[in-house]
């Protein structure tokens, strides 16, 4: 199993991994519809974890969900999606309130979103 931590340090992209199991763990992945966020989702789901992908585009989220499910075959955790602009403070607060009201517990928060100011 793998957990990805990304850093941009002096122009070099670094990956740190761990061997802790993601089986039955829940991760929220902001920026999960593409790039490193989607790659982290694939690894989490392949290892039995569940992910909630968060991104601005509902269409890209649906495509990512289908690609992750295809890449993981039958040995998969659940993939949920939520369209949200992470640069919109009010929308983020509403999303946090929603998660609290649903009692959705998460074990990891991965932020891999490119924002616009």
- Read off the pLDDT of residues 51-95 as tens digits, 9 standing for 90 and up: 999 999 999 999 999 999 998 886 677 899 999 988 888 998 898
Q: Is residue 80 part of a domain?
A: yes
Q: Is residue 62 part of a domain?
A: yes
Q: Is residue 103 part of a domain?
A: yes
Q: How far apart are CA 34 and CA 9, in angstroms?
A: 21
Q: Domains in the chain: how many in total?
A: 1
State the pTM of this model: 0.77
Q: Is residue 117 part of a domain?
A: no
Q: Is residue 5 part of a domain?
A: no
Q: How far apart are CA 86 and CA 15, in angstroms?
A: 23
Q: Is residue 39 part of a domain?
A: yes
Q: Is residue 1 part of a domain?
A: no
Q: Is residue 28 part of a domain?
A: yes
pLDDT surpasses 70 at 110: yes
Q: What is the CATH number of the domain that holds 32?
A: 3.40.50.720
Q: Which structural domain, as residue segments, surrounds residue 98?
A: 23-111
8 A C-beta contact, residue 41 and residue 10: no
């Amino acid at each position: 199993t793998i957990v990805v931590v990304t850093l941009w340090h002096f122009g070099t992209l670094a990956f740190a991994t761990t061997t802790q199991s993601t089986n039955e763990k829940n991760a929220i992945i902001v920026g999960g519809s593409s790039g490193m966020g989607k790659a982290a989702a694939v690894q989490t789901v392949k290892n039995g974890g569940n992910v909630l992908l968060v991104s601005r585009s509902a269409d890209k989220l649906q495509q990512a969900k289908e690609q992750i499910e295809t890449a993981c075959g039958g040995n998969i955790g659940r993939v949920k999606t939520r369209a949200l602009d992470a640069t919109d403070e009010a929308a983020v607060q509403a999303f946090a309130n929603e998660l609290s009201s649903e009692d959705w517990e998460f074990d990891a928060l991965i932020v891999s979103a490119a924002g616009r100011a």
